[in-house]
Amino acid sequence: MYEHIDGDTIVHSTLESGKDLIVKDQWKREYHFKIASFPVPTGLASEAIEVKEDSSFGYTFNILSDFDTDTEVAEERLIKKIKRGINRRHLKKENGEWKIGQRDMLRGRIEWNDDFSDTEYDRVFVIDGKRITIEEFGRMFEPWEGWHFQFKILDHCDDDA
Average pLDDT over residues 49-78: 95
In the chain, the percentage of residues whose pLDDT exceeds 70 is 94
* Other Cβ atoms closer than 10 A to 135: 12
Q: What's the rounded Cα separation, in Å, for the pair 38 and 27?
A: 32
Of 28-32, 52-56, 94-98, highest mean pLDDT: 28-32
Q: Which residue has the higher pLDDT, 10 or 3?
A: 10
DSSP string, 45-110: EEEEEE--TT-----EEEEEE-TT--HHHHHHHHHHHHHHHHT---EEEETTEEEE-TTS---EEE
> What pLDDT was estimated at residue 6?
58
pLDDT given for residue 102 in this prediction? 86
Mean pLDDT (the chain, rounded): 92
**CA angle in degrees (0–180, nearest 5) for 45-16-41:** 25
Rounded mean pLDDT, 23-50: 96
Mean pLDDT of 136-142: 95
Closest alpha carbon to 65 in 39, 87, 85, 84: 39
What pLDDT was estimated at residue 59?
97
Q: Provide mean pLDDT across the span 11-23.
A: 92
pTM: 0.87
pLDDT digits (tens, 9 = 90+) for 64-75: 999 999 999 999
